Amino acid sequence: MDCELSELSSSSDGRERDVLKKLRATTHELGPDCNCKRYRCFENISVEERTRIIREFNNLGNYNDQSKYLCGLITVLPVMRRRSRFGDDNAQYNLASYAYRVRVFCDGKLEDKSVCVKAFISIHGISAKRVQTLRESLATTGVIPIDKRGKHKNRPRKLSDEIVNKVEGFLKSLKGRKSHYSLKDSNKTYLPDNLNIKKLHSMFENKNPGQKISYESFRNIFETKFNINFGYPRKDTCGTCDSLKAEIATLTEKLKNTTPTSAPLVHSEIEKELNKKQLEKNLHLRKAEKFYKVKRNYRKMSMKTDTLEAISMDFQKNLPTPNITTNDAYYRRQLNFITFNVHILSSGQSIFYTYDESVAKKGADDVCSMLFNFIYKILPSQVRQLIIFCDSCAGQNKNITVFRFFHYLVTEKMRFDLVKMVFPIRGHSYLECDRNMSLVNCNSYTETPDDWREVLLTSRTKPSPFTVVDCEKDIIFQNWTDYLQVHYSKKCNLKTRPIRIIEFRKESSALIFHKDTYCGMYASTVITKKQNKRGRKTRQSSTKGNIEINALKPLYEGKLAINDAKYKDLLHLKQFLMKEESHKFYENLKKNDGIQDSEDEYVDNIPLDEDED
């Protein structure tokens, strides 16, 4: 290992050298048996203890911290007897004698065990030279040696203060955006996603032709002295935040133009209104921050236990198909490629359910069908508590069909002990799903939906590539609304718009629990059918633990029809496609002359909570 690192370090610079330095401090390996007959070191210290010692030693990470640890295990002793083989004149006497020990667990207690110097070196995976340096420093000065490599001042190639100041001035001059998603005053600035550090370095050199600075030095200043990221957090901002920000700015300007002496009543009214708006804004941001805090807590919990999982889910931007560079594409209707993303918070695994508008729509039944596949095909069976974070789009996530679906899985299917849905404040619904979509190159050249699936598959590598599901092949879209109406009351006196958290519990088979804030007590609502006079429920009987798949009817009968105008546009764009299978795909689409253009073909899912605050 040391040989490999030394070979790499000879040809490495900058960040690579820093990484190698850290690797040397954290990748010590156990050495060979000392074959000691006095202490029998490797016989008295088990393999598990030796492994634990070197693991904890590597975890120290820092060279100086490791030296402190090692010096604490070395004892300096006076030389008891000197026996020179070469006479007093030619003898090289040792300054001191040394004893070595390691700390091991014995009967649940930490104890020191004496070892020989060879075992000390092997157990810690260090060199004899390092032990010699430590003990000589202890014997001569009594002080733990400090690593002074890289601390010298004679640096002929050191960057001048003038160049450093120019780089800092250049980076400060960049105009970026601030994130509006946090109550905390973050100092992070976001630059356009078409920039990167390499481009900024080139821009600096073009602006300052006489000033030379390496890319590594430029990057070091960028990363250590500035809090800058690339890619705007979102193009749209919260309407409530923007409105309150504008009102506060207007009132602040009015307050500057009035004085308490000239117009005391007007000044007092403006000041009172300004305080009210600032308080309203802070309250709004606190509500938004509470949602993210709840999500962070459940993410940590899901990483610690196998029986609880937290996910976020959302429909993403509709992608035009075919997505080609021909000018005609700007004036023609294109086929919508739809993606529904489910992101597992504990592992970072992300699943994209994909289909085009000829396969299915974006309603509550479609969501339930895809979630059914996720729960029974992807989610581990040991998960008994499911926490879901999603936006408040009434037509997709926040509706009575989805609520009945989860209640059915908990109380009838017995799949979960608890399902909880948490909804964000409108305008502050930035989830992991949105972050995943930002990794997708939406400008990619694509001819068919399969091309978009290939783009998704290659859009991410860490922590794992996206899992892409072709819904036309792998999903059965079923009519959950009609099926669940038989088992549940037709009307539910539940106002869904103000709900922030809703729970479905196994022990309460007739109730759902909900609240309009992220804190406080839950209210409960009866969701099942009422009992008749004999005490029997009027709902149809069903076998618990065995969902009646046969009773579920398909949501769609074959392919969905495309309106005639769009169909003609797609056939026109077909002439610009290069692959023969692409031509066949559009020729096989089903058209219907009676279908008119629909607004939802051009508008993505929009949360309908207009007055939620």
**Residue 477 Cα to chain centre, angstroms:** 30
Q: For residue 532, which amino acid is it?
A: N
339 in the same domain as 196: no
pLDDT at position 283 is 87
537 in the same domain as 452: yes
- pLDDT tens by residue, 494-541: 888 899 999 999 999 889 999 999 988 999 998 887 765 555 555 444
Write out the E strands in 53-181.
74-77, 97-106, 109-115, 177-178
Q: Confirm whether 411 is domain-assigned.
A: yes
pLDDT at position 270 is 87
- Output the CA–CA distances (angstroms, integers) from residue 152 to 200, 269, 424, in the order listed: 31, 63, 54
Confidence of residue 384 (pLDDT cuts 50, 70, 90): very high
For residues 168 and 222, give the distance between their C-alpha atoms in angstroms, rounded to a whole number. Answer: 8
Q: Confirm whether 436 is domain-assigned.
A: yes
Which candidate, 105, 108, 127, places its Cα nearest to that of 50?
105
Q: For residue 335, which amino acid is it?
A: L
The sign of the dihedral angle between the CA atoms of 113, 119, 122, 126 is positive
- pLDDT tens by residue, 54-84: 999 999 978 999 999 999 999 999 988 877 7
Confidence of residue 329 (pLDDT cuts 50, 70, 90): confident
> Is the model's pLDDT at 606 over the cut of 60?
no
Q: Which domain holds residue 72?
A: 2-82+92-140
Give the single-character DSSP code of 318.
P
> Is the model's pLDDT at 422 over the cut of 70?
yes
Which candidate, 53, 39, 140, 156, places its Cα nearest to that of 103?
53
The number of helix segments (H) and strand segments (E) in the chain equals: 21, 18
Buried b (16+ CB within 10 A) or exposed e, 172-191: eeeeeeebbbebeeeeebbb
The residue ranking higher by pLDDT, 216 or 354, is 354
Q: Confirm whether 146 is domain-assigned.
A: no
What number is the average pLDDT over the span 416-436? 89
> Is the model's pLDDT at 572 over the cut of 90?
yes
What number is the average pLDDT over the span 140-145? 92
409 in the same domain as 487: yes
136 in the same domain as 169: no
The sign of the dihedral angle between the CA atoms of 118, 121, 126, 132 is negative
For residues 181 and 192, give the distance between their C-alpha atoms in angstroms, rounded to a whole number. Answer: 18
Q: Which two tokens stand for residue 446?
A: 């694509």
Left (φ > 0), alpha (ψ -120 to 50) or beta: where does 14 sit? Answer: left
Q: Which residue matches tokens 């399969």?
A: 450
The sign of the dihedral angle between the CA atoms of 159, 163, 165, 166 is negative
The residue ranking higher by pLDDT, 543 or 26, is 26
What number is the average pLDDT over the span 4-12? 49
347 in the same domain as 247: no
> Is the model's pLDDT at 292 over the cut of 90?
no
457 in the same domain as 333: yes
Q: Confirm whether 428 is domain-assigned.
A: yes
For residues 403 and 489, give the distance between their C-alpha atoms in angstroms, rounded to a whole number. Answer: 13
Q: For residue 95, which amino acid is it?
A: L
pLDDT at position 601 is 46
Give CA angle at 282 (276, 288), nearest 5°.
Answer: 140
Q: Confirm whether 296 is domain-assigned.
A: no
For residues 435 and 304, give the distance between their C-alpha atoms in angstroms, rounded to a whole number. Answer: 24
The residue ranking higher by pLDDT, 135 or 184, is 135
Confidence of residue 282 (pLDDT cuts 50, 70, 90): confident
pLDDT exceeding 90 applies to what percent of the chain? 52
564 in the same domain as 516: yes
- Output the CA–CA distances (angstroms, integers) from residue 514 to 206, 406, 526, in the order listed: 59, 14, 11
pLDDT at position 234 is 53
The residue ranking higher by pLDDT, 409 or 435, is 409
pTM of the model: 0.64
Number of domains in the chain: 4
Q: Confirm whether 607 is domain-assigned.
A: no
> Is the model's pLDDT at 371 over the cut of 90?
yes
- Output the CA–CA distances (angstroms, integers) from residue 6 to 2, 141, 290, 367, 570, in the order listed: 6, 31, 50, 55, 60
For residues 546 and 351, give the distance between their C-alpha atoms in angstroms, rounded to a whole number. Answer: 26
For residues 434 and 179, give the distance between their C-alpha atoms in angstroms, rounded to a whole number. Answer: 15
**Residue 275 Cα to chain centre, angstroms:** 36
> Is the model's pLDDT at 416 over the cut of 90?
yes
pLDDT at position 550 is 45
358 in the same domain as 433: yes
What number is the average pLDDT over the span 575-603? 76
The residue ranking higher by pLDDT, 6 or 104, is 104
The residue ranking higher by pLDDT, 438 or 2, is 438
Lowest mean pLDDT among 176-185, 381-390, 525-534, 552-561: 176-185
Q: Confirm whether 481 is domain-assigned.
A: yes
Domain boundary among 196, 230, 264: 230
Q: Confirm whether 156 is domain-assigned.
A: no
The residue ranking higher by pLDDT, 245 or 456, is 456
Q: Which two tokens stand for residue 80?
A: 């008891």
Q: What is the β-pairing status of strands 97-106 and 591-592?
A: unpaired
226 in the same domain as 243: no
213 in the same domain as 125: no
Find the radius of gyration of the CA atoms of the chain. 34
Confidence of residue 186 (pLDDT cuts 50, 70, 90): low
527 in the same domain as 451: yes
258 in the same domain as 391: no
Confidence of residue 602 (pLDDT cuts 50, 70, 90): very low
pLDDT at position 532 is 57
Which candidate, 294, 509, 494, places its Cα nearest to that of 399?
494
- Quick check: 282 and 359 in contact, CB under 8 A? no
For residues 570 and 572, give the distance between their C-alpha atoms in angstroms, rounded to a whole number. Answer: 5
The residue ranking higher by pLDDT, 304 or 177, is 304
Average pLDDT of every residue of the chain: 85
pLDDT exceeding 70 applies to what percent of the chain? 87
